[in-house]
Structure 1
Amino acid sequence: MLGMIGIVLTFAMVFGGYILAGGKLGVILHSLPYEMMMIGGAALGSFLLSNETAVIKHSLGGVVRALKGPQWREADLQDVLCLLFQLLRIAKANPIDLESHIEDPENSPIFQAFPRILADGHAVSLITDTLRSASLNYDDPYQVEEMLSQRISLMSEEAMHAPHALQNMADALPALGIVAAVLGVIKTMSAIDQPPEVLGKMIGGALVGTFLGVFLAYALVAPFAQRLQAVTKQDQSFYDVIKSVLVAGLHQHATNLCVEVGRQTAPEHVRPSYGDLENALRDLKRAA
């Protein structure tokens, strides 16, 4: 919602101020289709040239994701802590019973109780693979911890490809705007024998390219890239919470302490309160 408000406010202030200052939109609107074709086409072409297919798909989806905001909310963090609490309890009480949950999470009643987490392949595989590895090598928890850290680091690096690609496009747009403006100047110089009023309009149309490149870069594409980067970082913190709980479990800490370590790792603005989490865990114990 805030993203849409920001876009509307940007357009209203820029073009509203231009009109109030006596500017005529006719010059901009006349040149806009041609300048947009040159600048937008060149930006899109260079974007396709410099990125892999996966990055392109993630970047296109990232625009929508930037507007919608982070995937994981406070309730989701509380749910994943409750999920890990149950799994770690089973792992400590009877590791054999844990096998059915981590080998077939889709049919596990514990995972099924949290459908949003179950629908995320990264979260499920992170939990199940780590618990499986830990059950095979409890004598060396540091090895499992290192593997977990490397995996999350790789996930974070891959998730950042899309915002970096959008930022690179934003950096290129002002230069592409200059290219379009230079072409407009070349066109103007070829008509140097025309009267001043004609040349004025042609020069104004050429400058639209410079304006459009700078405006698209700093008012739209760069903010989208920054917003997507912030959203991606917040979503990645969800997996850091999972890592903290699992690592604490590897070191044989009490289950309640493992969950509290994960709660403290969560960003403050989405961190479940201690009381809410305790009530949720108390309900799970009663149900068990």
Structure 2
Amino acid sequence: MFGIVGIVVTFAMVFGGYTLAGGKMGVITHSLPFEMMMIGGAAIGSYLLTNDGHTLKQTPGGIIRAFKGPQWKESDHQDVLCLMFQLLKVARENPVALEQHIENPTESPIFTAYPRLLADHEVVSLIADTLRSASLNYDDPYQVEEILARRLAGLREDSMHVPHALQNMADALPALGIVAAVLGVIKTMSAIDQPPAVLGGMIGGALVGTFLGVFLAYGFVAPLAGRLGGVVKQDLAFFDVIKSVLIAGLHQHATNLCVEVGRQAVPDHVRPSFNTLEAALRDLKKAA
């Protein structure tokens, strides 16, 4: 929502200010289709040339994700803490019973109670793989922490491909605008025998290329890349919460303490309160 508002405000202020200052939109609108064809086409072409198929497939979803905002809300953080509480409790009371939950999450009454979490393959895989390793006596907290750190680093690198690609496009757009402007100057020089009024319009049209490249770079693509990067980082913090609970569990801390460690790892603006989470855990204990 705020992303759309930001775009509207940017366009309104830039072109509104230009118009109020006495600028003529006719020069821009006349040159805009051709300049956009050159600049936008070159930007898309270089994007296709630079990035692999995986990044290209992720780009449309990444742009939509930038406008939708972070995937994980406060309720999701509370749900994952409750999920971890139940799984750790089962692991300590009946390790054999844990196997059915981590081997068939879609049939587990614990996982199916949280459909948003179950629908995310990476969340389920991270939890199940780590608990499976622990059940196979690979329970050195420090080694598991190192493995989780490497796994999350790989996930982070993969998730940041699209923001980095968009930022590279933003960096290239001003130069592509200059290319379009130079072509406009070449066109103008070929018509040097025309009267000043005609030449002025042609020079103005050439400068639209420079304006468009800079405007698209710093008014749209770079902010979009930054926004997407911020959303990705907020969503990746969700996995750090899971990691914190798992490591605390391997250190054999009390289950409630493991969950509290995870709660403290949640970003402040989506962190459930201690009393709210405690009430949810009490309900789980009563239901059990």
Length-normalised TM-score, structure 1:
0.99
Q: Which amino acid aligns with 1:163?
A: P
Q: Secondary structure at the match of 2:226?
A: helix
**Would the alpha carbon gap of residues 193 and 139 (structure 1) be closer, same or farther in structure 2, given more than 3 Å must change?**
closer
**Structure 1 runs not aligned, ≥5 long:** none
Which stretch of structure 1 is more off in the superposition, 48-57 or 133-142? 133-142
Q: Hey, what does 1:237 align to over in structure 2?
A: 237
Q: Hey, what does 1:74 align to over in structure 2?
A: 74
User: Does 2:121 correspond to 1:121?
Assistant: yes
Q: Hey, what does 1:107 align to over in structure 2?
A: 107
Deviations 1:231-261 (A, max 9, x none): 0000000000000000000111100000000
C-alpha displacement of 1:139: 4.8
Q: Which amino acid aligns with 2:95?
A: P
Q: Which amino acid aligns with 2:124?
A: V
Could you tell me how far apart the structure 2 residues matched to 1:48 and 1:107 are? 42
Which stretch of structure 1 is more off in the superposition, 82-91 or 129-138? 129-138
Q: Hey, what does 1:169 align to over in structure 2?
A: 169
C-alpha displacement of 1:59: 2.0
Q: Hey, what does 1:10 align to over in structure 2?
A: 10
Q: Hey, what does 1:22 align to over in structure 2?
A: 22
Q: Which amino acid aligns with 2:35?
A: E
Q: Hey, what does 1:98 align to over in structure 2?
A: 98
Contact 1:177 1:211 in 2 (8 A): yes
Could you tell me how far apart the structure 2 residues matched to 1:35 and 1:57 are? 27
Could you tell me how far apart the structure 1 residues matched to 2:141 and 2:195 are? 81
Contact 1:66 1:227 in 2 (8 A): yes
Q: How do 1:37-52 and structure 2 match up within 5 A?
A: 37-52=37-52
Q: How do 1:170-185 and structure 2 match up within 5 A?
A: 170-185=170-185
**Structure 2 runs not aligned, ≥5 long:** none
Q: Hey, what does 2:143 align to over in structure 1?
A: 143
Q: Which amino acid aligns with 1:86?
A: Q
C-alpha displacement of 1:143: 1.9
Q: Hey, what does 2:209 align to over in structure 1?
A: 209
Q: Secondary structure at the match of 2:132?
A: helix
User: Does 2:286 correspond to 1:276?
Assistant: no
RMSD, aligned α-carbons: 0.7
Could you tell me how far apart the structure 2 residues matched to 1:235 and 1:82 are? 18
Could you tell me how far apart the structure 2 residues matched to 1:115 and 1:84 are? 14
Contact 1:134 1:141 in 2 (8 A): no
Q: Which amino acid aligns with 2:261?
A: V
Length-normalised TM-score, structure 2:
0.99
Could you tell me how far apart the structure 1 residues matched to 2:81 and 2:140 are? 24
Deviation above 6 Å: which 4+ runs of structure 1? none
Could you tell me how far apart the structure 2 residues matched to 1:139 and 1:90 are? 16
Could you tell me how far apart the structure 2 residues matched to 1:71 and 1:268 are? 16
C-alpha displacement of 1:138: 4.5
C-alpha displacement of 1:53: 1.0
Contact 2:133 2:139 in 1 (8 A): no
Q: Hey, what does 1:265 align to over in structure 2?
A: 265
Could you tell me how far apart the structure 2 residues matched to 1:140 and 1:4 are? 48
C-alpha displacement of 1:16: 0.4
Identity over the aligned pairs, expressed in percent?
74
Q: Which amino acid aligns with 2:258?
A: C
C-alpha displacement of 1:23: 0.7
Q: Hey, what does 1:160 align to over in structure 2?
A: 160
Contact 1:163 1:229 in 2 (8 A): yes
Q: Secondary structure at the match of 1:155?
A: helix
C-alpha displacement of 1:54: 1.1
Q: Secondary structure at the match of 1:45?
A: helix
Deviations 1:208-230 (A, max 9, x none): 00000000000000000000000
Deviations 1:158-214 (A, max 9, x none): 111110000000000000000000000000000000000000000000000000000
- For these two proteins, the number of residue pairs brought into alignment is 288
Contact 1:123 1:239 in 2 (8 A): yes
Could you tell me how far apart the structure 2 residues matched to 1:142 and 1:3 are? 41
C-alpha displacement of 1:142: 2.2
Q: Which amino acid aligns with 2:137?
A: N
Contact 1:138 1:250 in 2 (8 A): no
Q: Secondary structure at the match of 2:152?
A: helix
Contact 1:32 1:208 in 2 (8 A): yes
